[in-house]
Amino acid sequence: MLGTSGLEVSALGLGCMGLSYGYGPATDTAEAVALIRAAFERGINFFDTAEAYGPFVNERVVGEALAPIRDQVVIATKFGFRDGDAAGGPDSRPERIRQVAEAALQRLRTDRIDLFYQHRVDPQVPMEDIAGTVRDLIREGKVKHFGLSEAGVDSIRRAHAVQPVAALQSEYSLWWREPEQAILPVLEELGIGFVPFSPLGKGFLTGAIDAQTSFGATDFRNTVPRFTPEARQANRALVDVLAVIAARKQVTPAQLALAWLLAQKPWIVPIPGTTKLHRLEENVGATAVELSPDDLKDIEAAVLRAPVQGARYSADRQKLVSR
């Protein structure tokens, strides 16, 4: 249950971005549709997309995949970038929000958006106007729930005062724990669910990435300071100590990382993404992993022994978060 909103979803969702955007060439549409449907068959009913993923391509893929099972799934999408382009800067003007909603409904082949996130806070538009616009869309039946992504405490409170926020989506994992400081307490206070993206550290916590790994020309990890070869070499220390605990539990490092997130709060729903069926099945397996208090203490001690090196965003991207 995502907070007190009444929005119930599977313990894990599927982040669909990487099927079309961010990690290199887009996956073949038929293969992407098959993967999304495979996720549903394995118990996932919560699917995350956005107009900016492509732009627009990802919503069409998700819409095609889920059309036959629309009433059995929860679809989340997002507004908030100029012309749907993440490089274009924020744009959450009320008229733009409405345009995005109407276009997303068409691309997703649906008559309602279950969870409509503001992708990034727009400093040029009062949060009250944004929340009020989504409130109106909810009253019209085009949207069911309101969400925010990468918003700071002030924005969360201002939005929630106008239209209750069902969920906040932000990065959270064993190698990015900043939300614990101020965000998680306010979400608990207000009854807002938390949807961590990059719960596997953009793939790093799987153990499959090292200093020698090369990324494609369009892979956004090339711009992330945490993914320079030097940072990756240093950050292997964290993966290595977690791998020891995972081996003892007879699970994979990825399953351990997801199980750790699931153990933090009952209203936390990670959305790992993948393009591979075996990785999807591995991720789903994390929901069956039980971590004891001693396991959690061991993981905490391991993280303290191996602090992560490098910023999680470039300076330009960092300007758009935690407002």
**For residue 93, which phi and psi values (nearest 5 degrees)?**
-60, 145
Structure tokens at 264: 């933090």
What's the CA gap between 45 and 8, in Å, rounded? 10
Facing residues of 46 across strands? 74
State how beta strands 193-197 and 143-149 pair.
unpaired
- Residue 300: CB atoms within 10 Å: 12
Sign of CA dihedral 307, 312, 316, 317: negative
Sign of CA dihedral 315, 272, 199, 170: positive
Structure tokens at 4: 């007190």
What's the CA gap between 307 and 160, in Å, rounded? 34
Facing residues of 81 across strands? 90
The H-assigned helical ranges of 24-124 are 29-41, 57-66, 94-107
Q: Which residues are catalytic?
A: 53
Q: What is the CA radius of gyration of the chain?
A: 19
Structure tokens at 13: 């969702």
Query: Is the CB of residue 22 less than 8 Å from the CB of residue 54?
Result: no
End-to-end Cα separation, the chain, in angstroms: 26
Residue 41 CA: distances (Å) to CA of 2, 169, 285, 289: 22, 24, 14, 20
